[in-house]
Structure 1
Amino acid sequence: MKLSLRPINKSIAEEILKWKYDPPYDFYNNRLSDESLKELLENNYYTVFNEGELFGFFCYGKSAQVPIGHQYSVYRDDQVDIGLGLAPIQTGRGNGKAFLEFIFHHAIKKFGNKPLRLTVANFNKRAIHLYEKMGFEKTKELSNGHTLFFVMVKNVDCL
């Protein structure tokens, strides 16, 4: 696997927004709209390619946060929020660890030694298992009335 970073552009953003996941991961499906395109193109989103193929994306900051989390005061400024998405064809194939390590190294270059934070839906057992194996710990739970989320934090000195 040879992962590389590429700037996001309109055609890549459209491709990402057309990704369709199988249930229960269809929770992460998006809709191609002007608003969703604007979100990807005007915020801190990055794309990851593997040997010329779109492999996934990630983002930092507010775009990586679940809006209801602000009511629970879970998003402190001394941590780096990371959101990510792996192409549906890549899920469940053992690619998550390399993808996360790639993102970690980018985050450390960009933000230094700040702790990393993820917010993940509680039904996403595959992701939670991987995050725990990679050193993340559950610190909070929050709910938007439909979905329970775990906030997970990792200190970068655990890499």
Structure 2
Amino acid sequence: MTTGVAREIADNWKYPPPYDFYDMTADPEDYAEFVMPESWHKVCLQVRVDGQLFGFLSGRFLADGRGLEIGLGMHPNLTGKGLGRAFMEANLAWLREDSPGTPIRLNVAAFNARAIRTYEGVGFCRVRTFTQATNGGTFDFIEMEHEGHP
């Protein structure tokens, strides 16, 4: 990741409702964390396909040792076109190489059935549901885990 690409994503990627929930500008804390290199975790990558910015992947090891928590996103013009599974499979392959056998966790907004189907399709399982304050409100989330096996 570079600061220029991080700002391009944070400032310009705008999703249609209800996915505008994921716009980086929807939450000032998330925005600041995403654009400041000193806030980047173990993994902070831009994902390109044929030279074009396709998405991003970020991750950090959890303090309690439960694995690697990731966040990711695809360019808004590419969502809803059946590309999510290949994107996830490529990210998982890279993570397996970088941190073999490490459980991988992610949190997804409970309303995002499209993403949940994609995550389950590549082997993530639901761990728990919880509520979290973000984007000026309180929202339901699902924590999911992938065991990190091939």
TM-score, length basis structure 1: 0.79
2:65 is the alignment partner of 1:77: yes
**Where does residue 22 of structure 2 map in the other structure?**
28
Q: How does 1:1-159 map to 2 (within 5 A)?
A: 8-17=1-10, 18-31=12-25, 35=32, 36-38=34-36, 42-43=40-41, 44-61=43-60, 76-144=64-132, 146-157=138-149, 159=150
Within 2, Cα distance between the matches of 1:41 and 1:57? 15
Contact 1:13 1:41 in 2 (8 A): no
Contact 2:125 2:144 in 1 (8 A): yes
TM-score, length basis structure 2: 0.83
Deviation of the 1:13 alpha carbon:
1.1
Where structure 2 has 5 or more consecutive residues not aligned to the other structure, the ranges are: none
Residues 39 and 140 of structure 1, relative CA distance in 2, 3 Å threshold: farther
Contact 1:10 1:41 in 2 (8 A): no
Residues 40 and 135 of structure 1, relative CA distance in 2, 3 Å threshold: farther
Fraction of identical pairs, as percent: 33
